[in-house]
Amino acid sequence: MAREIRLNAFAMNCVGHMSPGLWTHPRDRSSDYNRLPHWLDLARTLERGRFDGLFLADVLGVYDVYGGTADAALRHAAQVPVNDPLLLVPAMAAVTTHLGFGVTSTLSYEPPFPFARRMSTLDHLTDGRIGWNIVTGYLDSAARAAGRERQTSHDDRYDVADDYMELVYKLWEGSWDDDAVLRDRARGIFTDPAKVRRVRHDGPHFKLDAIHLAEPSPQRTPVLYQAGSSPRGRAFAGEHAECVFISGPSAKVIAPRVAALRSAVRAAGRDPESVLIFSMMTVILGHTDAEAEARHEEYRRHVSHEGALALMSGWTGVDFSTYDLDQQVRHVENDAGRTAMDNVSRADPDRVWTVREVAEHIGIGGIGPLVVGGPERVADAIEGWVEETGVDGLNLCYAVLPESFEDVVELLVPELTRRGRYKSDYQPGTLREKLFGEGRARLTAPHPAVAHRQAGF
């Protein structure tokens, strides 16, 4: 078949996620985020649609740039309250067999030794369906929550991350040999201690002298996701990531980012095609184009301008509460803001945007593209997008939960399958095998984790 298009669902253990205000839609259930049945139903739906994975975002802080407080974010539930994402996984794993779980954890605030055990535990409990989205944190509010004045500077955070990765690789890959655990009831030997090694790490940021507490799990190192888009973040992704998540408003914006990313992978000595790239997209479906458009109109009425601008202010560091809603935004104050606005405006380069229009644009699905239509129009758009950008798949945001994903399963998946662009069955095995092929449960050389296997540190 033509190259397979992969789908992840993109969500967060919060209300609305990338569609601030849409929790007020009568059919939206995202405000049930704190109830287990909500997530069990979602997991079953996604597996019915043969989604590769559910990608769970996280922030350990609040969006408090808008107006200098968290008030707007709180009022509109713009990613606050936000609960821990890891704890959703075991319950969803219990009601699914194939669905993967990509979970965001901010290494800046998780000590590596218990974190490594947590991921190993999840890899065991899911039978090897866990992935980790490596995040270094980007909100000053999160740093203050950890008792610091502000975050570590951007590039330094990646230096910390490099040290952290080396340490957790040693724990995951190097501490226990594959044949260390015997479970030999007759001889009364559970583990052969000669095949378990103490990890000694004396890095610039982390020190440790311990064995990993978990026995080898199906994948050992979880599938590694990364989303950094700065040059330093891209270099980090080039070295470590197996899947990369990028976002941007148009194929023209995305395509060079995909190319830059594959170059970074090559620069790190790895096969550029060995990394799967997912870009963010939101689709609003109907049985017909007209039905989808009507639904879009209906959704739009629920967008919260203030909620959207609270997110935008947090992402950019620009306080959009100081702008009038009808004010045109030709430039904003800082680099991040310019980049974000640039992303917005490139979705429609000939248009002059007001703040209100920006809010409405990012109010459904954030700064990613929004595609509205019946199954054929949306499938056409996705095929075109993949062709133009070179991405391997999409991270689909929801507008209304679970309706958006149910529509994908009912309407889009059959169409993509019919076109030979979507798998008719899951591959067997772990998440890494489903993504990269049979026999690939573990990372393979030249990934840097492999160097820590059975090494004599």
Q: Which of residues 57-116 bind a second copy (CB under 8 A)?
A: 60-62, 69-72, 74-77, 80-84, 86-91, 93-95, 109-111, 113-114
Least spacing, CB of residue 253 vs a second copy, in Å:
31
445 in contact with a second copy (CB under 8 A)? no
144 in contact with a second copy (CB under 8 A)? yes
Between 173 and 239, name the residue whose CB sits nearer to a second copy: 173
Least spacing, CB of residue 201 vs a second copy, in Å:
8
Between 203 and 272, name the residue whose CB sits nearer to a second copy: 203
210 in contact with a second copy (CB under 8 A)? yes
Between 76 and 442, name the residue whose CB sits nearer to a second copy: 76
Between 121 and 250, name the residue whose CB sits nearer to a second copy: 121
Exactly one of 1, 2, 145, 259 binds a second copy (CB under 8 A); that residue is 145
Enter the DSSP assignment of 187. Answer: T
- Of 38, 21, 142, 33, the residue nearest 78 (C-alpha): 21
Q: What are the two backbone dihedrals, phi and then psi, of residue 238, each rounded to the nearest 5 degrees?
A: -55, -35
Exactly one of 147, 204, 439, 456 binds a second copy (CB under 8 A); that residue is 147
The one segment of 212-220, 221-229, 327-335, 338-346 that binds a second copy by CB under 8 A = 212-220
Tell me the residue length of the chain: 457
Least spacing, CB of residue 165 vs a second copy, in Å:
16
Task: Confirm if 335 and 304 have CB atoms less than 8 A apart.
Answer: no
The one segment of 182-190, 220-228, 281-289, 395-403 that binds a second copy by CB under 8 A = 182-190
Least spacing, CB of residue 289 vs a second copy, in Å:
28
Least spacing, CB of residue 94 vs a second copy, in Å:
5
SS3 269: coil
For 294, half-sphere exposure in the C-beta direction (CA atoms, 13 angstrom radius) is: 6
User: By CB under 8 A, how many residues form the interface with a second copy?
Assistant: 77
The one segment of 201-209, 367-375, 387-395, 431-439 that binds a second copy by CB under 8 A = 201-209
For 138, half-sphere exposure in the C-beta direction (CA atoms, 13 angstrom radius) is: 20
Between 83 and 274, name the residue whose CB sits nearer to a second copy: 83
Between 118 and 232, name the residue whose CB sits nearer to a second copy: 118
Exactly one of 44, 117, 423, 440 binds a second copy (CB under 8 A); that residue is 117
Burial class (CB in 10 A: 0-12, 13-18, 19+), 188: exposed
215 in contact with a second copy (CB under 8 A)? yes
The alpha carbon of 177 is separated from its chain's Cα centroid by a whole number of angstroms, namely 31
Enter the DSSP assignment of 109. Answer: G
The DSSP code sequence of 51-100 is -SEEEEE--SS----GGGSSHHHHHTTSS-SB--SGGGHHHHHHT-SS-E
SS3 349: coil
23 in contact with a second copy (CB under 8 A)? yes
Q: SS3 string of 294-341? A: HHHHHHHCCCCHHHHHHHHHHHHCCCHHHCCCCCECCCCCCHHHHHHH
- Of 71, 70, 130, 121, the residue nearest 96 (C-alpha): 130
Between 90 and 384, name the residue whose CB sits nearer to a second copy: 90
Residue list 271-310, contact with a second copy (CB under 8 A): 304
Between 187 and 331, name the residue whose CB sits nearer to a second copy: 187
For 422, half-sphere exposure in the C-beta direction (CA atoms, 13 angstrom radius) is: 23
The one segment of 24-32, 288-296, 378-386, 436-444 that binds a second copy by CB under 8 A = 24-32
Least spacing, CB of residue 415 vs a second copy, in Å:
32
State the first-to-last Cα distance of the chain, in angstroms, to the nearest integer. 46
Least spacing, CB of residue 266 vs a second copy, in Å:
35
Exactly one of 41, 162, 163, 213 binds a second copy (CB under 8 A); that residue is 213
**b/e map of 54-77 (b: 16 or more CB within 10 Å)?**
bbbbbbbbbbbbbbeebebbbebb
What are residue 10's DSSP bridge partners? 55
Between 171 and 379, name the residue whose CB sits nearer to a second copy: 171
Between 392 and 403, name the residue whose CB sits nearer to a second copy: 403
Exactly one of 2, 189, 267, 445 binds a second copy (CB under 8 A); that residue is 189
Between 141 and 226, name the residue whose CB sits nearer to a second copy: 141
**b/e map of 144-154 (b: 16 or more CB within 10 Å)?**
eeeeeeebbee
35 in contact with a second copy (CB under 8 A)? yes
- In Å, how far are 240, 369, 410, 420 from 52, measured between CA atoms? 20, 21, 16, 16
Between 175 and 247, name the residue whose CB sits nearer to a second copy: 175
Exactly one of 150, 185, 330, 331 binds a second copy (CB under 8 A); that residue is 185
Q: Please state, in angstroms and rounded to a whole number, the distance separating the CA atoms of residues 248 and 326.
A: 24
